[in-house]
Every structure is written in C-alpha cells, then in structure tokens.
Structure 1
Amino acid sequence: MLLRFNADFADPDLNFDPLIDEVFGELKSGFLELPKGAGFIEYPIFETGYQALKKATLGFTVIDPVAVIATVYAMPITFIVLRSILGFTPSEWADVTTERKKLQVDQGAARTIDRNCRLSPTTALRDRGSVADARIKAMVTAACELLKEGPSNVDRKEILHRLDKVDTATGLASLRPVADLGVPYAMLLYERFLGRPFAGHRDSVSELVGDVVESAVEDVLAKAGVGYRKTKRAERIPGFDQAPDFIIPDEHNPSVIIEAKLTEDDGTARDKVTRVQQLRNLRERDGRGYEVVACIAGRGFKVRRADMKRLLVATDGKVFTLASVQHLLTDTRIRDFVTRP
C-alpha cells in the first residue's frame, strides 16, 4: 500500500515529507503532448489555403475584399490563414469587426465560424444570405482593411501594436516581401517568443487536455462496474456550492466525491487545491460522511510542497495520480461499490 493511504492524518507529529515525495514521484509533466482534437489543421491543408489566398491577392499586391471573400467561400481554410496573418484570436477579430463595420459580431459567433472552417477546411461554403454569411463577409472585409493599413500611429516607445510584426508592420509593403522571400529566422523566433508555440491550439483543446484525468477515472470505474454520477460543467448539485467532478454512487447518497484536476501551472494548482479544501470544509460544516478524493495530473501540482501538504490533509491522503488511479478501487470507499473484479 502506498504510504499516504495508510498514514494517520490525525497525528500532529506526522512527517509529511515522504508522503509529498511519494506523490511528486508519480506526477509527470504532460505539456509536451497535446490532443489534436476535431478541427486540427495539418500543414498541407493550411498551405493550400495560403496558396489560395496568395493567388486571390495576386501575390499580396492587391487585397480586394470581394476576391478574398470569394476565396474564403471556395476554400474555407483561407479564413484561418487570414486570421493567422492578423495574429488575432476569433474573439479579437470579432471585436475589431464590430467596431469597424458596425455589424454586431459576438465572440461566440466568431468562434463558431472559425471552428466550422477548421472542421471542413476544403469544403466550399454556400452563401445563403444568412446572418452568419453577413458576419463572415464583414470579418473578411475588416481584415483586408487592417492588412492594407498596417498598425495605427502609436507611441512605439510605450505601446506595442498587435499589427507591428514582420508581415504587417507597414501594410502590404511588408506582407509582399515576406511572402516572396521568406521570413528572417531571428524575426520568426522573436515573434514565436511573443506568442508561444501552439498557444492557439492549446487554448482550443483545453477541455480535452483537462479531460485526461476525468477519462482515466471513468475508465477505472466503468471497468469495475462502479455506478457513479459525473457532473456537467457548471451544473448545480443540491448540497454543494460547486459540483464535484464525480459523485459515487450519486448525489442523493454520496459516499465518495472526486475532484479530477490537471494543471501545468503552479498558480492554478493552488486554486485547485483550495477547491478541494472547500469541499472538505463543506463536509465538516454539514456533518456529512463522504470521502473527499483528489485525482491529479500535471507538473503544476509538483511545485509547491505546502500546497501538496494541504491537499493531503484535505483528503486524508486520498490523492491519486495517473500512475496510481487504479488504487481508487482498493484504497477508498469505492471498494464497496465494485461489482466486477
């Protein structure tokens, strides 16, 4: 049995160091690997869109919104290429469009348009004259205007304009040579430093990244025939200020509640530990008897020993990692609900 599962947390002289070392030894960093998820664009598809946009703009010498809109409808991946040149998120592009074109493009609508283009990057769109079509055309038109204009006049000693980058710093005058001759490697590295590699994709699959721990818990419970209630995001559960991720067997008679969390950031890890502590405090306040369990992953939990101590105390040592998640069936009250050995 792992040390933390057999420790006496009521002992004021309990040595936490070996318990913390035990958990730290199981935690692995997962930031090097990301799920692709639906809507991931492979480079050959992206490059096809780039070439289509380059052709429509005569090698980025003439940016005519009508021609670019037609290209976006014929080859939707062009929409993603255009956003990449701007360096905007879908939400930021929506805000700029609303300001410039006097057409309300809310952030949710922009994200939906962007996702649809990524899901079917080479399937032509049909112009039905809908609200979505009006938004697409407005966004593309606003983008074309911005690329022609380049960054506005700002005090460059104090302000960094988002368009003040190697391919858009002087409007089309900077875009053409970059497209024709390529980007100096040092400049590419500098802009990568400002933006972080794969940051946009990581944001788009953040829920899938977080689901790694939940999926591991579900797999263990399902294989053992354990009945459980998995809550939905932002769901309200009577008796809980914020719903835990899993309740076993259900919210009407909880025996075990599980918080399944992944983070690569130590600040976020501290917040998640506080969340588990709140569940423990809620249990004590209401005089309830369920076990509070934490299933964690990511290097964020491996930074602050004080935070891990708080987590161990809040769960009476019931802290599981991806390496020890199978112990849920033997070292928590979940053992009483196992129906398949």
Structure 2
Amino acid sequence: MPLRFDVDYNDPLLPFDPLIDEVFGELQSSFLEMPRGEGFTDYATFETGYQALKRATNDFEDISVANIEAAVVVAPISLIVFRAILGFTPPEWAYITTERTGLKVDQGAARTMDRNIRLRPLVPRALGTTTLADQRLRAMIQAGVETLTAGIGLEAPGLVHRLDKVDTKQGIQSVQPIADLGVPYAVLLYERFLGRPFASHRDAVSELVGLVVESAIKDVLTAARVSFRETGRAERINGFDQAPDFIIPDEFNPVALIEAKLTEDDGTARDKVARVQRLRTLRDESGKNYDVIACIAGRGFKVRREDMRRMLQATNGKVFTLETMPLLVENTRIREYRTR
C-alpha cells in the first residue's frame, strides 16, 4: 500500500520528501505512445495512395488536375499524399483554395473531407459535379496544382516560403527527380526536424491523449458499480467556481470530488495543482467533509517538488496515478458507494 494513503497530514512535522518521491516514482511520461484513434493512416495505406498518385501522373511527370482526380477516384488516400507533397494542413489548403478559386471552402469542411478519406482510404469513390463536397474537392485539387506549378517565385528576404522544400522548391519540376532518385537521408532528417514525427497525428488525437486518465477513472468506478457524475467542459455547478471533473455520487450530496489531468508540461501541472487547492478551500469554507482527490499522469507533474507537496496536502495524500488507480475506491470515501 502506498505510504501517502496512511499518514497524518495534520502533523506539522510530517516529512514530505518520501511521499513526493513515491508519487514521482509512479509517474511516467506518455509522449512515446499515442492512441491510434479512428482515421489513423499506416504506412502501407499511405504508400498505396502514393503509388496510385505516381501511376496517374506518369511518375509525377504530368501533375495535372485531371490526373490527381483520377488517382483520388481509385484510392482516395492519394489526396492525403498530395497534401503531404504540398505540406499543407487541411485548414491551410482550404484557405488557399478559397483564395485561388473563389469557391469558399471553410476549415471545418476541409477537416471533414480529410477525416472521411482517412476513415475509408482505399474505397474507390465516384467524383461527380453536383454535390458541394465534390465541388470543393475539385477546387482543392485545382488550387494545389496551381500552387505547386507556381512554385516559390522570387525569394523575399527574411521570409521562408512554405514550398521551399526539397520536393517543391522548383514547383512541379522538383517532384519527379525526388520520386525517381529517393531523398538523401540528411534531407529526410531535416524535414522531419521541421515537422516533428507524428505531429499531425498527435494533433488529431490530442483530445484522446488527454482522456487517458478520465477513462481509467471511469473504468475503476464502473467496475465497483459506483454512481458518479462526470461534468462537461465549462459546465456550471452550483457551489463551484469551476466544476470538478468527477463528483461522487452527484453535486447534491458529494462524498468525493476528483480532478483528473495528464500533462507533459509543468505549467499546466501547476494550474491543476492550484485547481485542487481551490477545491480544498471551497470544501473547508463550506464545512463539508467530502474527499478532494487528484488523479494524474505525465511527466509534467514530476518537475516541481513543491507543487506535489501542495497537492498532497490539499488532498490528504489522495493522489492517484495510472499505476495506483486500482486503489482509488478503497482508499477514499468512494468505498461507501461501491456495490461490488
């Protein structure tokens, strides 16, 4: 049993260092692993789209609107490959399309189109002329081809053009030799440095990454058949200037409040510590005796020892990590509501 659950936090001589070391020893960084989520594109799928695009453009010698469309009809993921060549995000591509073609493509529409393709990347699709979605897709291809054809033009001092990449610096003329000869390793590493590995995927699943702790809490509470209230983002709850993430069993007769957070950033961790302290202050001012609980993960919480001391004090040691989450019910007042 972790030491921090069994000590007297009213003891003014309580040594906090062993308790802090205990929590720090349980915290692990999560940045090496990410949820796949729906719409994750593996390399085999991406490469299939690449080959379809390569065939349709005659080994990238004829990059035209018609040929890009032909590839997208056969393998829709080809559109994502073309976007990777351009180096645009979906919202950026939408903006360029609106600017170049006059057909309004908003960011939400571009993101939806991108996601729908990633969900069904290799299912052939018909490309008509009547639906707004097809019109937008055609316009985006047109804008992409025009942008690539134009290249970077005259270089402006103090500015870096988004197409100033090894495969697009000279416009369409840059793509074909790179596809034929392969990219030198140093060039690959440099562009990886500029873009960060898995950056776009991490952005796409950032909300899922943040929900790892919340999911673990719900699994434990559900397994014990404990009634709980999970609050929504920015939800207003009477008696709280900011609603806690979980209330057991509800806000009308709480026995436990839970603040949950996964963060790799120490500044965000400090904000959560302050939030936990605020919940403790509200409890003490109201004369209630519910538990204030922190469920945390990520290296952001193991940067500042003083912050962890404050969190331990505010929760009377009820700080749970992903490692100790199975102990959540038995070591808090939540056990009063377990039915299994």
Task: State the TM-score bracket (shorter-chain normalisation).
Answer: over 0.9
Cα distance change on mapping 1:53 and 1:242 into 2, 3 Å = farther
What is the count of residue pairs matched by the alignment?
339
The aligned amino acid for 1:171 is G
Q: 1:326 to 1:87 in 2, by over 3 A?
A: same
- When residues 91 and 312 of structure 1 are mapped into structure 2, their CA distance, relative to the original with a 3 A threshold, is farther
Q: Which residue number in structure 2 is paired with residue 207 of structure 1? A: 207
Aligned residue for 1:144, secondary structure, equals helix
Match of 2:325 in 1: 325
Using the TM superposition, give the Cα deviation of residue 282 of structure 1 relative to its aligned residue in structure 2, in angstroms: 3.9
Partners of 1:287 and 1:105 in 2: CA distance: 55
Residue 31 of structure 1 deviates from its aligned partner by 1.8
Residues 282 and 139 from structure 1, CA distance in 2 versus in 1: closer, same or farther, beyond 3 angstroms?
A: farther
How does the TM-score come out when normalised to structure 2? 0.92
| 1:190-339 to 2 correspondences below 5 Å | 190-284=190-284, 286-339=286-339
1:287-325 deviation per Cα after TM superposition (whole angstroms, max 9, x unaligned): 544322111111221222122223223322211001111
**C-alpha deviation, 1:239, in angstroms:** 3.4
1:1-341 equivalences in 2 (<5 Å): 1-126=1-126, 127=128, 129-156=130-157, 158-284=158-284, 286-340=286-340
- TM-score w.r.t. the length of structure 1 is 0.92
Q: Deviation per CA, 1:247-271, whole angstroms, max 9, x where unpaired?
A: 1101222221112211222233223
Once the two structures are superposed, residues 164-183 of structure 1 have per-residue CA deviations (whole angstroms, 9 ceiling, x without a partner) of: 11111111121111111111
**Counterparts of 2:85 and 2:206, CA distance in 1:** 23
CA change 1:290–1:56 in 2 (3 A) is same
Deviation sequence 1:185-241 (CA, Å, 0-9, x none): 001001111111111111111222222211211111111111111223444434333
% of aligned pairs identical? 63
**1:131 to partner: Cα distance:** 2.2
Q: For each residue in 1:109-160, what CA deviation from the matched residue of structure 2 results, as whole angstroms up to 9, or x when unmatched?
A: 211111100000011234362222222222221111122122253435x222
Secondary structure, in 3 states, of the residue corresponding to 1:329?
coil
C-alpha displacement at 1:162, in angstroms? Answer: 1.9
Unaligned runs of 5+ residues in structure 1 are none
Q: Deviations over 1:17-40 (max 9, x none)?
A: 111101001111222222212111
Residues in 2 aligned to 1:10 and 1:101: alpha-carbon distance in whole angstroms? 69
| CA distance 1:113–1:282, shift in 2 (3 Å) | farther
Give the letter aligned to residue 146 of structure 2: E
Q: Which amino acid aligns with 2:15?
A: N
Q: What is the CA–CA distance in structure 2 between the aligned matches of 1:283 and 1:95, rounded to whole Å?
A: 49
5+ residue gaps, structure 2: none
CA distance in 1, matches of 2:42, 2:59: 23
Shift of 1:336: 0.6
Q: Distance in 2 between matches of 1:8 and 1:152?
A: 70
Structure 1: distance between partners of 2:46 and 2:180: 17
